[in-house]
Amino acid sequence: MEHGERILYPCYFNAAYTRAEGRRVPRRLSAKAPVLAEIERALDKLGLKYRADEHHHPGHWIRREGRVVVEWTESKEALMKRVAQKISGKTGGIR
């Protein structure tokens, strides 16, 4: 991973997970069972450059869900909220 890149895993957006289990966005913005393709579609809609690969989240190694590496220089939290809004279709009050 290079400077200016952020890694996103599907578990960050999974409503079935608690924060301790790996969810990183508010439950109201999370998805029922997000897959990598949904994250890729959200990134396409946002016009962001990314690459997907087969790597997995260390805490969820058995699931092998993959990840995306996104070119992004702002905070990871801001990126995750924008992606979550596109996946869920909710704005959550963020512009």
- β-bridge partners, 14: 31
In a domain, 49, yes or no: yes
In a domain, 70, yes or no: no
In a domain, 69, yes or no: no
Number of domains in the chain: 1
In a domain, 34, yes or no: yes
In a domain, 30, yes or no: yes
Q: pLDDT band at residue 91, thresholds of 50, 70 and 90?
A: low
- Asked whether residue 3 carries a pLDDT value surpassing 60, the answer given is yes
In a domain, 45, yes or no: yes
Range of the domain at 26: 1-53
Enter the DSSP assignment of 63: T
pLDDT tens across 56-81, in order? 888 877 778 899 999 999 999 999 99
- Asked whether residue 9 carries a pLDDT value surpassing 90, the answer given is yes
In a domain, 47, yes or no: yes
Q: Are 30 and 14 in contact (CB under 8 A)?
A: yes
